Amino acid sequence: MQTFAIERAWTMTLRELGVAPRAVLQRAGLATDLLARPEARVTAEQYFALFDALTEVVDEEHLGLAVGRSIRAEMFSAPLFAGLCSPDLSTAAERLAHYKRLIGPCRMEVERLDGDLRLTFRPVGRLAFPPQFAVFELAFWTHFARMATQVDVRPVEVVAPFAGEGAFAAPAYTEFFGRSLSVGSQPAIRFREIDARRPFLTHDEGMWSFFEPELRRRLSEVAADATITERVRACLLELLPSGRTGMGEVAQCLGVSTRTLQRRLRGEQTSFQDLLADTRSELAQHYLAASTMGGAEISFLLGYEDPNSFYRAFHQWTGQTPEAARAKLRASGDGNDAKLRA
């Protein structure tokens, strides 16, 4: 069964709302120590139950707005921080849509309509969002755009299934979004092209280059249908910087024996050494294209004790030196996906 992480931001948000976590967890029927656990995970239904409980406990008519605009960069969340590292809202949306399931039971679709950016949200595990959760998503993206650009970005369209009903017709929504909610089958928000392309003051591709491998690892972990090849790559992304590159260490990471790991990799027509080399090659080219790190630093992050071993391996992979490869990768204009082949 697919589960979702409860991020540290939950605890900080409850603190800002003046709510005791225990009261919300009890109302949701969840363990009262859940938010104190280092890696708390819940099902989609439990996640939404937590938000429903928050709505019942907090004396706040416009809870979704309050939670959405309470998010700050210091509420450290790897996906959120990676989004802030993006060059603009359009890129951040693409990145966070890909890693959305690391944040909660919500899928996000990214569309381009006449140059505008439109984001549509769909729940995982149920047919409809709790209304205040839907408002939270809409408010979050508006607040996120403003936080990263330091501009009062106002969406050109804000859609919700319950628009105009009861409290959702209140002036507070028009004041926050700059327009009233309109009715639609799924929550959605649309930003003008000029706002979608407006530069983020928080842009930092160097930080993104460090966050991306970790996000990829976590995404691979939660994928219910992940192959053993994908899981080995995910473990390697975690272990390489500490120099732990042995099959035994990866087998321990996966909770299997080395013999089982070898057998399952053979079943997928690959080997541990091939995956190790491919992962190192992919990461090396990524670091060369997306950061200013030198060969020695990259060598360390790839788990090599001696930089010369990295230089020899890199030449074997690509037929080039790291310096020549960096120049070629940057000249290609695609720092995220460019790859070299010998």
How far is the CA of 120 from the CAs of 64, 158, 185, 195, in angstroms? 17, 10, 10, 17
Task: Convert the pLDDT of each residue in 157-173 to its tens digit.
Answer: 999 888 767 767 788 89
Structural domains of the chain ordered from first start = 4-196 (3.90.1520.10), 205-331 (1.10.10.60)
Residue numbers of the chain with a pLDDT score lower than 50: 334-338, 341-342
The pair of structure tokens assigned to 201 is 């003051």
d(CA 203, CA 208) in angstroms, rounded, equals: 9
Contacts of residue 46, Cβ cutoff 8 Å, sequence gap at least 6: 28, 30
The pLDDT, as a whole number, for residue 191 is 98
CB under 8 Å to 308, separation ≥6 — which residues? none
In this prediction, residue 58 carries a pLDDT of 84
If one counts every other C-beta atom within 10 angstroms of the C-beta of residue 170, the result is 14
Q: What is the pLDDT of residue 335?
A: 46
pLDDT single digits (tens) 47-81: 999 888 988 888 777 888 888 887 776 555 777 87
Q: How large is the angle between the packed helices 258-267 and 272-290, nearest 10 degrees?
A: 80
Residue 9: per-residue pLDDT: 74
